[in-house]
Amino acid sequence: MADKRIPTVIAEDVHITYRVHGAKNKDTSPLGSLKRIVKREPSGVVREVHAVRGVSFVAYEGEAIGLIGSNGSGKSTLLRAVAGVLPSNKGAIYTKGQPSLLGVNAAMMNELTGERNAQLGCLAMGMTKAEVREATPQILEFSGINERGDFGSLPMRTYSSGMAARLKFSIAVAKRHEVLLIDEALATGDALFRRKSEERVRELRAEAGTVFLVSHSLSSIRDTCERVIWLESGVIRADGPTEDVVPEYEAFANKK
């Protein structure tokens, strides 16, 4: 029987390699760098890192997919490639519409107020002015930044990193996305905000959107994702139901 689900992301044998510039000289201070520029000395050793190696998968409408793996396993790199921020060196990624990567589409301007950033973020996501007027108070309420004062009217530079992250997440989830990519955003804030965030992810999934979540919090993955892709050293080690893949990953991590 044919699969009637609608694909939103197709990755075919994706390879991503990038270059890392390492210091050749022990003196990495600004003065040392200036001396090397004046003397026209090489800035350092360049090595290539093969971050993603032959990754293939298909994501469908209505799925919430967790990306897990050790530090440096290629999770965030793969997410940025799906978003179109990083090109693949080999293979291809096909998407339905333009995926929204949390932290890129909702860029913040430190000199503007939280409220103005919310408005601009909504406009950047293609919302109409009427939709922006309706969504902005809801965004500020969801983020919780006004719970201890009217921070919505203050410049972003006065916010803590947690407040900025909560506002950024709240802007990104203010509209339905065909593909929403979230990198560790649910780790911000207190337990109440995490529960609200996880519930919003489930709502987006129910609206036939596809959500990818990169997180080191396996409890968040269990609570929000029914499917998990486990990456290790840039290779998919497992791809399947959360209740199968997460215990397999935990057993692996406990042996390290």
Which of the four pLDDT bands, split at 50, 70 and 90, describes residue 147? confident
Task: Please state the separation of Cα 226 from the chain's center in Å.
Answer: 18
- Where are the domains positioned within the chain? 61-255
Q: What are the residues whose beta carbons fall under 8 Å from the beta carbon of 185, sequence distance 6 or more?
A: 102, 103, 165, 168, 169, 172, 197
Portion of the chain with pLDDT greater than 70, in percent: 84
Q: Which residues of 182-216 are buried (b: 16+ CB within 10 A; e: fewer)?
A: bbbbbebbeeebbebbbebbbebbeeebbbbbbbe
Three-state DSSP state, 66: strand
**pLDDT given at position 33:** 60
Q: In this structure, are strands 64-68 and 210-214 parallel, antiparallel, or unpaired?
A: parallel
Domain 61-255: what homologous superfamily? P-loop containing nucleotide triphosphate hydrolases (3.40.50.300)
pLDDT (mean) for 16-40: 65
Which of the four pLDDT bands, split at 50, 70 and 90, describes residue 104? very low
Dihedral angle, C-alpha 181, 183, 185, 187, nearest 10 °: 140
Given a cut of 60, whether residue 198 has pLDDT beyond it is yes
* CB-neighbour burial class of residue 60 (10 A; exposed 0-12, middle 13-18, buried 19+): middle
CA–CA distance, 158 with 136 (Å, rounded to integer) = 19
Given a cut of 80, whether residue 160 has pLDDT beyond it is yes
- Output 32 or 237, whichever has higher pLDDT: 237
pLDDT (mean) for 190-203: 82
Which of the four pLDDT bands, split at 50, 70 and 90, describes residue 141? very high
Three-state DSSP state, 18: strand
- Output 202 or 186, whichever has higher pLDDT: 202
